[in-house]
Chain A
């Protein structure tokens, strides 16, 4: 998880934060229509300083969403198309030898942007996928013993095709755990699709139509506000009990990690901003529970694929029903 710049002051109030979030969400909804809930969660994820994993069949607007997100916050964007022959250096950058001066200089790779779209992440072999690990966790890149800090804010949005597609490598668990949320957009409703058809006449790409409504500094401010959100002891206890319930559940082989607990807390903090609150309620926790935990659980009936995703969500809903919320 990327920590926000320390120097950035928090936004003046939760109400201001909410209006900023609402603006961005409204802007995104222009690009990705009929997906208010997913858009909301995606904005929550970015505001919480987390990385986002979009998992869907091709062609439902994943890339559009990411591009719109970058434009809304006016973030510098790079798009890396992950393929089977992609090497770590293609992402991170490399030392270049200058024959003239007989010296090396660092040529930053596409990762040195504020928003990195790792498209079809699971088409690259695990080695290349792992190149992202340090960047995602520490917000820096180490090459040949030299540490290069990444720009702030820094967010990775990865898209992946459902794993049962041919030519894919499953993401390693350590990689999955570093994504704050996993979302799936799903096919838009028929009337939305029809409307898209009409609009497509006017604009070549949806991303082009949205205008910036915020700034990278504002995003840093949002993140500072999220970090300052109050998490009551009882709610913290609730988060831990939920995580514990996934660990002791009979159908779950491996439950939520400690990093998952922290991620859940951070996402819930960000989600509280939608109600212009400076504290977290159990409802906030439940709202982000599925997107934050589903991809981190290893189920006993471990067939990967869409089916598992639904099953994991189902189990999480069941746990949320059973673990009593503080009142």
Chain B
């Protein structure tokens, strides 16, 4: 067997890699599968096929792997889809390292397709689309080369350049055509069955849970993913970085380890929720929660008064969703979705607010202390505050003292029996939750009502919007001041309130998020309505509410431009098509010769390599073959019709084929009876 074309194999391997990457980007494929595939790919790209010697044995080894994966699925340790994807990756690796035959190549591409399907099931984000595109292009190129390679006789050079050029051109046209098809052809959403496990850069990280737990391990505040986009009215135009608190929910109960809320969820679902009466100067926010947010809790600038008009973004389009009130002033979207958008009216900071409806237990809970609270906490609080009676002044004293005396650290302490005691007296360093917990509890030991609030701090201006990153997640303290409502006091040193991620990572992620945003709006969520808007936009200027002029008579210049471009395109197409050589009208004769050759092949008399019907007929006549007398007039008639401008009459072809069929039958019977 001759050496397969190196370029084709490289293209094939890379297409498989793209297919695997489409699954891997969901970050759900186990690491061992990732490593195995990567190793196999590297070895394959160097041109070595170590498994070529024992293809059967190594293929058999796949069976126990399948068994292990099945056990993992059955025992609930692994998702079925993830297991299937991992197995596809392993099969692909085994095939990559086997000898390249036509069968192997086909299997590699087939497994690639399966992996693409797996990737679609695991994630449907921008990177997946890029992987899909890469797979399609590479696989097409490799397939095209394979076809040509098979057609070239052994020993001849394969005309790679001559093949790749039209192939690449064709693939390019196909991709552009698909894009045009996507934009222009009315469509229905087909991605009904897509599982949205995670957004593009891994799992969503800033979850809101019913509790806040101190301790744990790892680092915080380093995640630069954008979780929230907001447009504010009135717009603080010149403010690059907001010093604002975005509240998600509050907690009133601390058990020494974690914060929770005693308030119960309300059963009613509403489209609009009013938490407290509004004021004159309200801040209107149009907020979009991005997939990276990964939770259903609404976020709003402090102090939210009214929230509503929520839409949930799902793979099948936008839907209205209703809100449910939970304890701790938390609002939740009733429906699950990828992302959400909604409107909020907030009272500006510093306004006196109604603390909201609270029953007696809830009010009592604002002074509740954990049972095993270290007595030193109260002594410490008393020492710092002195005999200050005003809750706000006391809180500010304590906060200033905490910011001065304690270090900020992103490293978590690990699981401890009493994290507060560890923060205040042992490590003297912690993150926002420690600072906020310490402040809240110290206030409570002195009899000041307070609670913990969580959400985000900050906001970075991008264009006309503000974005908030996952690392901006924050915790602070609400102090209840009689007559003024809950006032925010933040014990965390100001420099550490926003996210602490690296600048370049932040800009990279911003770029990615921007692309992903475009991808989501113009591809994933691109709907029939958007198509209509696009078409309308070609002929009508965008609506400008500021100009109240009369519409000019006649179509606008934009419509002329579009019409001109379309006309140009049509003209070009017509010219191209008319310049192409016209298909010969003698197709009838060619169909005749095709049919004759098929009949001959079926009868066991196939034309030899490079032989035309003319040659076959001449050979039969020369060899005095019994079929010669039948074939000769037929061939002559074909030649006349094809090259002599005496076209076949209607029905002539069928008649001649029938004659040939009969002659072949007679011949077959004759040769059978002659056979011993």
Contacts and interface: CB of A to CB of B under 8 A. Distances in A.
Co-assembled chains A and B: yes
Interface of A: 230, 232, 234-235, 275, 277-283, 286, 320-322, 325-327
Interface in B560-598: 584, 590, 593-594
B645 A279 contact: yes
A283 B644 contact: no
6 contacts: A232-B642, A234-B643, A279-B639, A281-B643, A321-B610, A325-B612
Interface in B606-645: 609-610, 612-615, 618, 636, 639-640, 642-645
B643 A280 contact: yes
B644 A282 contact: no
A10 B135 CA distance: 65
Nearest to B594: A327
A327 B645 contact: no
The 8 A-B residue pairs with the shortest CB-CB distance, nearest first, are A279-B644, A283-B614, A321-B610, A232-B643, A281-B639, A279-B643, A325-B612, A281-B643
Interface string B32-46: 000000000000000
Contacts of B618: 283
Contact of B584 (A234, A275, A280): A234
- Range of interface residues on chain B? 10 to 19
Contacts of A232: 642-645
B644 A230 contact: yes
Contact of A282 (B609, B612, B636, B645): B612
B612 A283 contact: yes
A279 B590 CA distance: 17
A321 B151 CA distance: 14
B641 to A, nearest CB: 10
A232 B614 CA distance: 16
B643 A327 contact: no
A327 B644 contact: no
Most A CB within 10 A of own CB, among B609, B640, B644: B644
Contacts of B645: 230, 232, 279
Nearest to A279: B644
Given A230-B644, A232-B645, A283-B614, A277 B639 contact: yes
Contacts of A320: 610
A235 B614 CA distance: 14
Contacts, number: 48
B491 to A, nearest CB: 83
Interface in B4-34: none
Contact of A321 (B609, B642, B643): B609
A321 B645 CA distance: 26
Contacts of A327: 590, 593-594, 612-613, 642
A286 B618 CA distance: 13
Contacts of A282: 612, 614, 643
Contacts of A286: 615
Interface centre among A281, A320, A322 (most CB of B within 10 A): A281
Nearest to A277: B644
A325 B609 CA distance: 12
Contacts of B642: 232, 234, 281, 326-327
A5 B618 CA distance: 34
A278 B644 contact: yes
A226 to B, nearest CB: 16
A142 B612 CA distance: 47
Nearest to B643: A232
Nearest to A321: B610
A286 B612 CA distance: 11
A235 B645 CA distance: 12
A301 B110 CA distance: 47
Contacts of A277: 639-640, 644
B615 A279 contact: no
A221 B271 CA distance: 101
A283 B613 CA distance: 9
Contacts of B612: 282-283, 325, 327
B593 A235 contact: no
B582 to A, nearest CB: 11
Given A234-B584, A278-B644, A283 B610 contact: no
A327 B594 CA distance: 9
Nearest to A232: B643
Contacts of B594: 327
Contacts of B615: 283, 286
Contacts of A234: 584, 642-643
Contacts of B640: 277, 279
A256 B23 CA distance: 57
A283 B612 CA distance: 8
Of the listed residues B590, B610, B618, the one surrounded by the most CB atoms of chain A closer than 10 A to its CB is B610
A277 B643 CA distance: 10
